[in-house]
Amino acid sequence: MIDPSEAPPGPPVPGLPAPGPREPFLRRMNPVLFTLFALALIFVLYQIVGGVITIVVARGEVTLSNVTLVRWATLLGQLLFILVPTVWLARQRHGSLPGFFRLRVPEIRHLVATMAAVLALQQMLQAYMVLQDMIPLPADLQRMLDALRRLLEEAERVLVQANGPGEFLFVLLVVALVPAVSEELLFRGLVQRNLEAVGGWKGPLVTGIIFGVYHFNPFALVPLIALGVYFGFIVYRSGNIILSMSAHFFNNFIACSAVYLRLDDNFVALAPGAVPTLKLAASNFAIFAVVFVAATLYFIKSTGHDKSGESY
């Protein structure tokens, strides 16, 4: 006797829907597992493969003689190892990209509000960095951290420093524009969108933490997380990733401009040429906190959700 469970499938039964094709594996994955898979894949591609390529190009050190090659390696690494796999993963899992990534033309008032908030938040975080540098540490640990900080800051300064308008525009392309597009599509697009599916408002928060950790800069971890959470908030609130791309670009543009204009890394807007004392940093923080709150409240008031729950 033939076991019915082992019988070959016959023709469709009249009145019942025909079995459809099975969904691809990436679409069947749990959103959290998919997010971890995507982050792991891009980590290997960008941080390891791209990092090794950059180290080989730089021969272990970023100098004025090889900085152009390092910039090109960085640019291509961002495009090939962040942007391309992000778009491919999104296409495989979600199909339509503009709707999934929430690509919309932003309103000017929202752009202005987020730019003002980013400028204020950057100054608030600069005040935090002044306080962080004042925390006493054991002498041996302090020496080790100071050496690591100098190494990171010198490599970053050589990479960002430009000696003319043309070179400055290329630096902006490498350090500001391409990261703003590729990182936002990855974090506020692919990662946050999937985490929102299971955590709602917690998605931007978790994504911001991942964003900060992903940059591997222990000295700027808190500022990076704060910026990441803010970028996630404006996307979640407005349903528009172009706003976070613009804010991300503006944040990096300010940093590049400060280096180009030979301003000190620790400058505060109230007194760019002064030594950043705790009192000055606190005053700077208080003033720009008012700006940040005002800009954010205006942004919240001018954005919202319709009855279906979709952001606008």
Give the pLDDT score at 18.
55
118 pLDDT band, cuts 50/70/90, is very high
Which pLDDT belongs to residue 246? 98
Note the pLDDT tens digit of each residue in 234-282: 999 999 999 999 999 999 999 999 889 887 655 666 556 656 778 888 8
pLDDT digits (tens, 9 = 90+) for 30-89: 999 999 999 999 999 999 999 999 889 888 888 888 999 999 999 999 999 999 999 999
Q: Residue 10: inside a domain, yes or no?
A: no
Q: Give the per-residue pLDDT at 145.
A: 87
112 in a domain, yes or no?
Answer: yes
| Residue 312 located in a structural domain | no
| Residue 36 counted as domain residue | no
pTM of the model: 0.87
Q: Residue 39: inside a domain, yes or no?
A: no
Q: 229: domain range?
A: 102-142+157-302
User: Number of folded domains in the chain?
Assistant: 1
149 is a domain residue: no
- Residue 308's pLDDT is what? 45
In a domain, 310, yes or no: no
Q: What is the predicted pLDDT for the residue at 130?
A: 85
- pLDDT tens per residue across span 195-223: 999 999 999 999 999 999 999 898 999 99
What is the rounded CA–CA span in Å between residue 87 and residue 189?
A: 10
In a domain? residue 238: yes
